[in-house]
Amino acid sequence: MNPLIKMFLIFAKIGTFTLGGGYAMIPLIQKEVVEKNKWIEEEEFIDIIALSQTVPGALAINASTYIGYRLFGIWGGIIGCLGTMLPSVIIILIVATFFTQFQKISLIQAIFKGIRPAVVALILVAVIKLSKSIPTNRLYILWILTSVIGISVFHIHPILIIIFSGILGYKLFKGDKDHGSDC
C-alpha cells in the first residue's frame, strides 16, 4: 500500500473514532505512529505534542500535519491534516443537521453522559503514557507540580507555562546531551 494512503487511513480512522478532541486522540496517534508503525521515536512524539500545543489550531490536526510533513514532506503534511480533519468535518455536519432535533431525547442525553467518562479515560491514558518518558527526579516533579498549580490555581495561561518551561529548559540543559537526567 502507498505510504501516504496508509497514513491517511490511519489518521482518518483516528479522526473518525475518537470523541473528545485532540487530547483524546493522543494515545491513538502515539500507538499508531510510535508503537505500531515505528515512524518516529517516543521522545520525538512528545516534542511534537508540545509543539502542537504551542501553535494555533487543534492539537491533533497540528500533530498529524507535523508528523505527515516529517515523514513525507509537504504532501505528507497535507494528507495527515486531511486524514484527521475530514472525518470530523463530515460527522459534525451530519450531527449539526440532526442534533437540535434530537438533543432533548433522553436516550441521546444518556448516550452523551455515558461517553463523557470514556473521554476522560482517554485523556488520562495520554497523560500516563506521556509521563513515562519524563525522568522521575525532584526537578521534573517540582516542575510538573508548579505548572499544574500555575494553571489550575493561579490561572496562568498554558502557553505562558510552555514558553517559560522552554526558556527554563534551555537555561538548565543547553549543552547537556543527557537532558538533565542527573538533576
Q: Grid coordinates in use for 161?
A: 507555562
Q: Which are the contacts of 177, defined by CB distance < 8 A and separation ≥ 6?
A: none
Q: Which of 10-14, 58-62, 122-126, 150-154 has the lowest mean pLDDT?
A: 122-126
Read off the pLDDT band of 53 (50, 70, 90). Answer: confident
C-alpha Rg value of the chain to the nearest Å: 19
* Rounded average pLDDT over 59-87: 94
Taking the whole predicted model, whether its pTM rises above 0.75 is answered as: no
* C-alpha cell read off for 13: 480512522
Reported confidence tier of residue 143, pLDDT bands at 50, 70, 90: very high
Residue 145 above 60 pLDDT? yes
Chain segment 119-132, per-residue pLDDT in tens: 888 888 878 877 87
Percent of the chain with pLDDT over 70: 95
Q: Show Cβ contacts of residue 125 under 8 Å, excluding neighbours closer than 6 positions.
A: 27
**Among all chains, which residue has been given the C-alpha cell 455515558?**
114
Longest distance between any two alpha carbons in the chain, whole Å = 60
Which helix (H) or strand (E) covers residue 73, if one does?
helix 59-102
What integer is the mean pLDDT of 99-112?
A: 83
Yes or no: say if 84 and 64 are a contact pair by the CB < 8 Å rule.
yes
Q: Can you give the residue ranges of every domain in the chain?
A: 3-133, 134-183
